[in-house]
Amino acid sequence: TCSLLRSPKGFPKLKNDTFLRAARGEETEYTPVWCMRQAGRFLPEFHEIRGSQDFFTTCRSPKLCCELTLQPLRRFPLDAAIIFSDILVVPQALGMEVVMVSGKGPVFTEPLKEVEDLLKLRQKVDVTAELGYVFQAITLTRHSLEGKVPLIGFSGAPWTLMSYMIEGGGSTTMAKAKSWLYRHPEASHRLLRLLADVIIDYLVGQVAAGAQALQLFESHAGHLGPQLFQDFALPYIRDIAQAVKSKLKEEALPLVPMIIFAKDAHYALRDLAHAGYEVVGLDWTIRPQEARAQVGKDVTLQGNLDPCALYAPKEKIGELVKKMLESFGTQRYIANLGHGIYPDMNPEHVGAFVEAVHAHSRHINKH
């Protein structure tokens, strides 16, 4: 249960550190597994808790975030929990209004249209004042997990957040946001820098609150080509890893493993492998052996089962998992999907995925 009465620190001792060991490149007896969007819409109990309540109101309730984070762990033997939140809390902290529209997703009431609109954003953000509710949710959840598995914190990356702030929601082309990169490169860098600075403080705050690993989501990397990525995404991705680590050191906080997940950015895997992250997350559009060859031996890989594979019969899911583990190898590897779980997925099939990873990786390790 998620009661708010525990002391903020003095966290319970961690019982299963397999995920953290794999992230750091240490040997594990089996391959750890978690799923992006494991706390969420595919679980009936999620809808019971959320009811008809507004999505972002849920995000602002530490008790509800804690409960939603714990739900999948009651069903599946996952090796990590990820805090229930959303990447768009960062644009909100900058003063933008975002509403979740049923059947449509997030919508910004006033997206950025002109360069002058940057002046409407908060130029200095006090993350504790604006995003303290996420920190409270993390601390509460870390206690409520009772050391069962590590807790992952996360943020969207600057380019992905910028694209939402300009498009005003989802987009198939990102043409409005990309036109800024071509037409207003200086203003784009100003916005990306502002976002990066907030993200750095936000991620450090999450570790101070109890997060034991961090994932940066560059979900819209696929809309950029190699050049735009190199100019407008990679420098900030690198900078975030470096700055978070140096601030954690300064504040005598634990140096937690960091994961970069840049969806559809296989053109940048080599660069991402040297961007300062312990783990590189992969979508399903790259062959495991190819990814391994590009990132080398010093980085852990995470991913990359096609989420739609979970629609297959359970035996088939087992076969796909076995093949994936044989391709990646069971070490320096964290099993996951290549993107989040879809809302209409059968929870039993998610369970079959998790159990197949454990069973097959143990078997491969023994033989």
Catalytic residue list contains 164? yes
114-119, long-range: CB < 8 A, 24+ apart:
115/184, 115/187, 118/187, 118/190, 118/191, 118/194
Contact present, 257 and 20 (Cβ < 8 Å): yes
Using the structure block, give the residue that is written with the tokens 């999948």: 72
CA distance 72 to 233: 32
Q: Which residue in the list 41, 190, 238, 362 is annotated as catalytic?
A: 41
Identify the H or E element spanning 321: helix 314-328
Catalytic residue list contains 50? yes
Using the structure block, give the residue that is written with the tokens 């960062």: 90
Q: Which residue in the list 30, 164, 277, 333 is annotated as catalytic?
A: 164
Q: Which residue in the list 6, 24, 75, 86 is annotated as catalytic?
A: 86
CA distance 16 to 253: 21
Q: Which residue in the list 17, 21, 30, 37 is annotated as catalytic?
A: 37
Catalytic residue list contains 86? yes
CA distance 33 to 12: 22
Q: What letters, b where the CB count within 10 A reaches 16 and e where it falls short, cover 232-266?
A: bbbbbbbbbbebbeebbeeeeeeebbbbbbbbbbb
- Phi/psi of residue 115, each to 5°? -55, -35
293-298, long-range: CB < 8 A, 24+ apart:
294/266, 294/269, 294/270, 295/269, 295/270, 297/332, 298/25, 298/273
CA distance 92 to 142: 25
Q: Which residue in the list 17, 21, 30, 50 is annotated as catalytic?
A: 50
Q: Which residues are designated catalytic?
A: 37, 41, 50, 86, 164
